[in-house]
Amino acid sequence: MTGCETLLPSSAFPKKAVCISLVLMLFGIAAFPCAVLAEGEDFTDTAYWNTLCTSGGVLSAAQKAQCTAYIEHISSQSSDLKRQLDDIESRRAEIASRAAYYASKTRDYQKQADQLNLDILSLNEKISVKEAEIDTKQKDIDAKQSEAEALEKKVKARIESAQESMRVNQYLDILMGANSFSDLIRIANGISDINAYDQSTYQELSELLQQLSLEKKELEETKAELDTAKQDAASKQNHMLALKYEAELIEQEYMKQEADLEAQGNRIAGDIDEIKNMMKDISNAINQIAGTAGWTYPVPGAVISAGTWSYPGGGLHLGEDFAADSGTNVYAAGNGVILKSTDGCPAGYLTNSCGYPGTTGGGNQVYLLTKIDGGLYAIKYLHLLAGSPAKQGSIVNAGDVIGRVGTSGNSSGPHCHVEIHYLGDAESMTSFAQSWNGNLFFGCGWGSDGMNHRCESGAGAPCRLRPETVFGG
């Protein structure tokens, strides 16, 4: 029964009608606003996007762009998140001027994001329980409402059939004074002349209405708890996404300066006399190294998280980043010798300088001197897992495992950074290995100066070869 329904027919009682209403105040489960999708993307599965964008794994350039769009999308739905993002943007200039300082802070951001993810998971479990409780309570209320409606019809029929009895009609004025159907039942229960059968029916309906009232109250309390849990989850999600947004902005600003910061700490490989003596010892083996036809891909199955010459968010980047799970094998691109190897760096973070002697911030690293397609190349593999780099002086063949993907040194997640230096004709391998002065840029420039030594721009050997030229990406 909905709205106002006349209990007693007007034809039976001219100018008098009883209007009663049994309206259950049942609130629908609150839901987050319906998502307005960003063009080309479907962000309705927030659990998927939250996991992708806040898990701390290395993302491809395309995924980073998607996550930026996702955060902006959520911001458009939440004034609280928008306020947080606006505050972060207002500090962009300060972050840029103190990029290294802010980058060192991002180590804590992921810990906070991980904890917030756990909190949100717990809240979502609580929300699921509350929604199940609400569903059960709603079904129980619906069943009682159906029972109440059946009893109402029964009471209505009894009153209508009793209208011919003067004994009942004398009480009609009293009954018509009821303000609600509940009042009517209460008044009817107090009239002793109503027979015991009717009295029992009225009492049953009265008790049922009381139960409904109590259950409605419990339902409203449960829904209030649900709303609180949802608001808490939304608040934590907003804070988590704001942290991720700030970390991304900080990383972008740091990367704009990274190459030149790295150049300040890189000069030579370490004990050059030791390396030269080692090379003399293996000179016969070097002479026996056969040239390789074609290039072996360094990290099969990896995604390219950053390309050569620039990062997706801006900033100089002199190599190609192959992002993969920690421990993934890294392979030699061709036959050659490990010219330099550095090991012992634990998992790193942005601004970590571990890697010396070697590339400062390069973590665990390998430098492969190799002959491929008639050319001589020095290939640089950085950020390897501790304990995995091939030993200095090792003779390797194309496809040999020379390390495993890690996140050592100046790194925000597991990947292998690869740079290629073209050194000239392959026949000069032995003389180069024995006369090398230990400089790890191989005459191709550090930092921004490296852009002046690009093979694709017409620079002769030694020059920097874009890895995408041979590996793709």
Q: What is the pLDDT of residues 414-473, one digit of tens each?
A: 999 999 999 999 988 888 888 888 888 999 988 889 999 999 999 999 999 999 999 986
168, containing H or E segment: helix 166-169
Give the pLDDT confidence score for residue 338 in this predicted structure.
94
Question: Shortest CA distance to 355 belongs to which of 366, 342, 368, 367?
Answer: 342
Give the CA-trace dihedral at 278, 280, 285, 286, to 10 degrees.
Answer: 100
Whether a cis peptide bond, with omega within 30° of 0, leads into 300 is no
Closest by CA position to 420, among listed 346, 328, 340, 320: 320
pTM for this predicted structure: 0.63
316's tokens:
């100089």
Residue 37 has pLDDT above 50, yes or no: no
- Whole-angstrom Cα distance, residue 401 to residue 274? 25
Residue 412's pLDDT is 86
pLDDT at 214: 86
pLDDT at 148 over 90: no
Q: What is the pLDDT of residue 29?
A: 28
Chain-wide mean pLDDT for the chain? 81
Banded model confidence at residue 167, pLDDT cuts 50, 70, 90: very low
DSSP letters spanning 318-356: -SEEEE--TT-EEE-SSSEEEEEEE----B--TT--TT-
Domain boundaries, the chain: 5-252, 270-471
Residue 3 confidence class, pLDDT cut points 50, 70, 90: very low
Question: Counting beta carbons within 10 angstroms of the beta carbon of residue 214, is it exposed (0 to 12), middle (13 to 18) or buried (19 or more)?
Answer: exposed
**What's the whole-number mean pLDDT along residues 1-24?**
32
Q: What is the pLDDT of residue 452?
A: 94
Tokens encoding 333: 């691109």
For residues 256 and 202, the model is more confident at 256
Q: Where are the alpha helices (DSSP H) in 13-98?
A: 46-54, 61-77, 79-90, 92-97
Predicted local confidence at residue 263, as pLDDT: 76
> Long-range pairs for 192-198 at CB < 8 Å and ≥24 separation?
193/167, 193/168, 194/168, 198/155, 198/158
Per-residue confidence band for 31, with pLDDT thresholds at 50, 70 and 90? very low
pLDDT top residue among 188 and 97: 97
According to the model, what pLDDT value does residue 133 have? 87
Mean pLDDT of 113-127: 86
**What per-residue confidence (pLDDT) applies to 58?**
67
270-471 placed in CATH 2.70.70.10: yes
SS3 309: strand
Look at residue 207 in the predicted model and tell me its pLDDT.
80
Residue 336 CB coordination number (10 Å): 30
pLDDT higher than 90, residue 389: yes
Name, in order, each residue with C-beta under 8 angstroms of 45's C-beta and a sequence gap of 6 or more: none
The pLDDT value given to residue 176: 52
Pick from 32-36, 37-41, 60-64, 374-378: least confident: 32-36
Q: Helix or strand or coil: residue 404?
A: strand
Residue 157 pLDDT more than 70? yes
pLDDT given at position 2: 36
The band of 382, judged by pLDDT with boundaries at 50, 70 and 90, is very high
